[in-house]
């Protein structure tokens, strides 16, 4: 989480801050959903975005037991 908040502060939050709580909330949600998870490559994911890494995980996921 520390790395996430560092990235948020250095990549997205303006130096002057936000005009209101509502504006901050909207922009931070936009950062998390629109940029951090979908577009920003992550070194620990081999250069993949979190969404792409998770998608590949679930596509390759093998169930341990098949309940029928």
Query: What is the pLDDT at residue 66?
Result: 55
Q: For each successive 10 residues of the chain (68 residues), what is the average pLDDT?
A: 78 86 91 80 79 84 61
Residue 64 lies in a domain: no
Torsion-angle region of 9 (φ positive above 0: left; ψ -120 to 50: alpha; else: beta) = alpha
Residue 67 in any domain: the answer is no
pTM greater than the 0.85 cutoff: no
- Number of domains composing the chain: 1
pLDDT for 22 equals 95
C-alpha to C-alpha distances, 52 to 13, 16, 40, 48, nearest whole angstrom: 25, 33, 11, 6
Q: Which domain holds residue 54?
A: 2-11+19-59
Which string of DSSP letters, residue by residue, matches 37-59? TTT--BGGGTTB-HHHHHHHHHH
């Amino acid at each position: 989480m520390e790395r996430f908040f560092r990235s948020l502060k250095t990549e997205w939050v303006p130096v002057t801050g936000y005009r209101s709580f509502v504006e901050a909330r909207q922009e931070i949600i936009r950062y998390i959903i629109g940029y951090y998870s979908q577009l920003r490559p992550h070194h620990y994911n081999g250069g993949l975005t979190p969404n792409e890494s998770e998608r590949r995980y679930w596509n390759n996921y093998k169930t341990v037991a098949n309940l029928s």
